[in-house]
Structure 1
């Protein structure tokens, strides 16, 4: 059970609410707050008056775009619930959160189309060893029998989905449920605790059948229970609850409960299951390797607020953390400026935090999400940071007004601090600042937040593609720089052989000078001149895969200089390169696309429409029902790939890309690129 019932104090628990997009997580949080008395009345997402999703961006888009937290009391126990966004574009917000939680409630609809999205959530929980149960939400709108829904959802989970309740139907409407562990029937009452009633005679056989199925699944992990079932001995109720708690903690089952968050149905039963079966903080501490720490808090999330400044939302695993305490583990020693509970995203002043508590620390300026903190400078434990997903969508941006450049830079730094799955890169070659994220909506919300919170409006543009150019044939050319303007003149004379190299060879410079026609001390200057030219070739792009050899030349004993030979080298390249049949090169990316298997044919079509070459596909290791498609796709065609990919896969497809090689680009596509470059240069 995680902690003996006889102990006088039970530590607070931290529970993540996760699940596919629009499954009802924020509504469930609201229902929990109402049922525990944390709020007087349950709001709705439609009315825009929920504690969660209170930001303008969340309400404008009608979806969770950031983590929301709330701490409640239920039957003397304390729980902090962390409502995590469901869209794949915002799920990274939960990456640092999940590991520090005691358990997760996976909120799901009875909808087969949501199985791939559900699998994304469950796979992460299973891989990280986080106990979890499934809350089958919107049961009042189900059009399929629960006995069919659970097998339908089972492919999303590698562990058995164990049905804990069966619904009571009247005239096609779910009016309550039967608890299979307690063998009690409950009738729903809207936004009120359900009423215990006798099990309807018509459902006795169904209840017995479902209960035996549940016990059989539990018996797979308990030999004593198996013997009792084989001998038709009714197992004690406490034995069943002990097995449910142990199997949940061990991660060998995923219990399934029913309800309707919108109507407040099934909420008390869910809370009681968490109260009796969710493990306490010691289990999570052991999982994270900090069971022996004397002082330990893990920063799950950074929040920048208008009034309280920077808040670091942290789970405390050991020791006490109070206002004014010095903490270590960030970039520098910091002092806590206030401890807070968080309701939604609003801080509420509180006293010191103790093991199990989820607390926001005020103004730890150097502390980042993923840091492990301690009040003991000499014994700071370390909890592994969660890996952030690679970015899949990027936009170039500049401040709309020059006076806002500092605001933009400052605001972006805070946006990245709050959401490490967003990053900012400065592309020196293209002269662009790139905002990277997990999708189009992800960056749209970030830009909206930039304006609202930091007053920094940015203009966005497609990223410039780093095209290159090369040559197809060789030439020999002379370059002479001669200038007389009184006093010493300038004289440099070179003959260069220019030849193409195999793709990927880069640039080489050599010399075959004999007889000192070009003094050796000037040869490096010739190479510098050649390299100067290669930055922008005849087509307007950096030149690659070219060999240049200095074969002849002449000099003047007085007027020659390093600068003159550098200029001569540059002039020779400018004269000779247009004669070498310049060709445009575009970067080709090696792309791995991960999608549910049924979407693979659609993805193959998308790749082809993006001028891509499919190299093959195979089953995705460790992901039943998923494929990985390997392809080569031009970088210019990848910019919007994620948008089409998500559309074709109900929002779950993703990809990874890395530069592979350069390939010649000709025809209409090349003409468009060259026209765009000429317009830029004009």
Structure 2
């Protein structure tokens, strides 16, 4: 049991996937409670949460940061946690010491499904949490799909032959398996239905049903032929026209899909190049870009979708991860 001390102050973590808007959400909290007089923006690199130089350069949180405010006589310290997977351990370490958590997500079903490991951690440590669905003003959002997904990799569990007290054990076994699937990574985009089962009045237990659910998943999931997915970003690069061909080569060499390029409005002699680029290929991208453009090239990126990893690369990733 994770005991929380009641007092006049609260430590609250703000967590969620990268680019879900956590830092902007924190900025709004600080503004409406009077802690700051104006809201900054991630794009302008002047937010309270992303104060580190690397965070501002990459337009994303790369470390845990904190900011305090007061509301209704209670002092709140908000812990802004990075959302990118490479910083997951820092987020988990910060969560252990908080009183509650706010999970920020976008109304995009595929992104919501990636929250399963985070929700499991919050449940395992009995950390009270609520979900804030951000960016609801965007076009083409699907509210019902988002709500169904929030119910952490859909669990439509029924079953008349299994006593109700054992259903949570089944769900727990499923959820634990989904955090580390047969390919060595969390599983998303699936639905689980318990249609039948049997029990014994004396030998059955929640732990037994939990183990049975894990065994069923170990048998069933490989038969579904799971594939390895990776996050794909939309990248917009600004470069002098004389370096555009080099930028195109840079993007293509990093498994990028070129969407096109055109002259930049009101910037004579400059081009804007658009492409899809796997997040895994972003490491040192800014360094190479600056090197190719005499230090003046820049880029903006945002999450776009999940995509299947090429077969040969997937084999190498899975083999390396399972060592």
Q: Please, what TM-score do these two structures have when normalized by structure 1?
A: 0.27
Residue 663 (structure 1) aligns with: 307
Residue 246 (structure 2) aligns with: 602
Match of 2:58 among 389, 392, 397: 392
Identify if the C-alpha distance between structure 1 residues 652 and 531 changes in structure 2 by more than 3 Å, giving closer, same or farther. Answer: same
Identify if the C-alpha distance between structure 1 residues 580 and 529 changes in structure 2 by more than 3 Å, giving closer, same or farther. Answer: same
TM-superposed deviation, 1:621: 4.1
CA contact (8 A) 1:614 1:632 kept: yes
For 2:39 and 2:182, locate their aligned partners in 1 and report how far apart those are by CA, in whole Å: 51
TM-superposed deviation, 1:669: 1.3
Match of 1:510 among 153, 156, 170: 156
For 1:603 and 1:570, locate their aligned partners in 2 and report how far apart those are by CA, in whole Å: 47
For 1:619 and 1:530, locate their aligned partners in 2 and report how far apart those are by CA, in whole Å: 51
TM-superposed deviation, 1:645: 0.9
CA contact (8 A) 1:612 1:634 kept: yes
Residue 131 (structure 1) aligns with: none
CA contact (8 A) 1:393 1:640 kept: no
Residue 174 (structure 2) aligns with: 530
Identify if the C-alpha distance between structure 1 residues 678 and 385 changes in structure 2 by more than 3 Å, giving closer, same or farther. Answer: closer
CA contact (8 A) 1:427 1:433 kept: no
Identify if the C-alpha distance between structure 1 residues 648 and 427 changes in structure 2 by more than 3 Å, giving closer, same or farther. Answer: closer
CA contact (8 A) 2:61 2:83 kept: no
For 1:654 and 1:610, locate their aligned partners in 2 and report how far apart those are by CA, in whole Å: 17
For 1:625 and 1:611, locate their aligned partners in 2 and report how far apart those are by CA, in whole Å: 27
| Unmatched tracts of structure 1, length 5 or more | 1-379, 398-408, 414-422, 435-467, 470-504
CA contact (8 A) 1:589 1:657 kept: yes
TM-superposed deviation, 1:385: 5.9
For 1:381 and 1:632, locate their aligned partners in 2 and report how far apart those are by CA, in whole Å: 36
Deviation per CA, 1:332-384: give whole Å up to 9, x if none: xxxxxxxxxxxxxxxxxxxxxxxxxxxxxxxxxxxxxxxxxxxxxxxx99577
Identify if the C-alpha distance between structure 1 residues 543 and 383 changes in structure 2 by more than 3 Å, giving closer, same or farther. Answer: closer
For 2:174 and 2:154, locate their aligned partners in 1 and report how far apart those are by CA, in whole Å: 10
Identify if the C-alpha distance between structure 1 residues 561 and 432 changes in structure 2 by more than 3 Å, giving closer, same or farther. Answer: closer
TM-superposed deviation, 1:592: 1.4
Deviation per CA, 1:163-206: give whole Å up to 9, x if none: xxxxxxxxxxxxxxxxxxxxxxxxxxxxxxxxxxxxxxxxxxxx
For 2:154 and 2:286, locate their aligned partners in 1 and report how far apart those are by CA, in whole Å: 38
CA contact (8 A) 2:231 2:278 kept: yes
Deviation per CA, 1:600-627: give whole Å up to 9, x if none: 2221121111110011223334434322
Identify if the C-alpha distance between structure 1 residues 384 and 533 changes in structure 2 by more than 3 Å, giving closer, same or farther. Answer: closer
For 2:291 and 2:200, locate their aligned partners in 1 and report how far apart those are by CA, in whole Å: 68
- Paired residues for 1:309-348 under 5 Å: none
Residue 292 (structure 2) aligns with: 648
TM-superposed deviation, 1:666: 3.3
For 1:426 and 1:518, locate their aligned partners in 2 and report how far apart those are by CA, in whole Å: 38
Identify if the C-alpha distance between structure 1 residues 629 and 381 changes in structure 2 by more than 3 Å, giving closer, same or farther. Answer: closer
| Unmatched tracts of structure 2, length 5 or more | 1-34, 47-55, 67-79, 92-112, 115-148
Identify if the C-alpha distance between structure 1 residues 383 and 564 changes in structure 2 by more than 3 Å, giving closer, same or farther. Answer: closer
Deviation per CA, 1:81-130: give whole Å up to 9, x if none: xxxxxxxxxxxxxxxxxxxxxxxxxxxxxxxxxxxxxxxxxxxxxxxxxx
CA contact (8 A) 2:231 2:306 kept: yes
CA contact (8 A) 2:247 2:289 kept: yes
Classify the secondary structure of the residue corresponding to 1:548.
coil
Identify if the C-alpha distance between structure 1 residues 643 and 424 changes in structure 2 by more than 3 Å, giving closer, same or farther. Answer: farther
CA contact (8 A) 1:393 1:639 kept: no
CA RMSD after TM alignment: 3.6
- Higher percent of residues as strand: 1
CA contact (8 A) 1:393 1:642 kept: no
CA contact (8 A) 1:585 1:662 kept: yes
- Of structures 1 and 2, the larger Rg is shown by 1
Which structure's relative contact order is higher, taking Cα pairs within 8 Å and 6+ residues apart?
A: 2
CA contact (8 A) 1:593 1:653 kept: yes
For 2:231 and 2:168, locate their aligned partners in 1 and report how far apart those are by CA, in whole Å: 31
TM-superposed deviation, 1:652: 1.0
- Paired residues for 1:95-110 under 5 Å: none
User: Are residue 560 (structure 1) and residue 204 (structure 2) matched?
Assistant: yes
- Paired residues for 1:249-260 under 5 Å: none
CA contact (8 A) 1:392 1:655 kept: no
For 2:319 and 2:59, locate their aligned partners in 1 and report how far apart those are by CA, in whole Å: 25
Identify if the C-alpha distance between structure 1 residues 545 and 425 changes in structure 2 by more than 3 Å, giving closer, same or farther. Answer: closer
Identify if the C-alpha distance between structure 1 residues 645 and 536 changes in structure 2 by more than 3 Å, giving closer, same or farther. Answer: same
Classify the secondary structure of the residue corresponding to 2:249.
helix
Q: Please, what TM-score do these two structures have when normalized by structure 2?
A: 0.55
Residue 194 (structure 2) aligns with: 550
CA contact (8 A) 1:396 1:432 kept: no
Identify if the C-alpha distance between structure 1 residues 667 and 618 changes in structure 2 by more than 3 Å, giving closer, same or farther. Answer: same
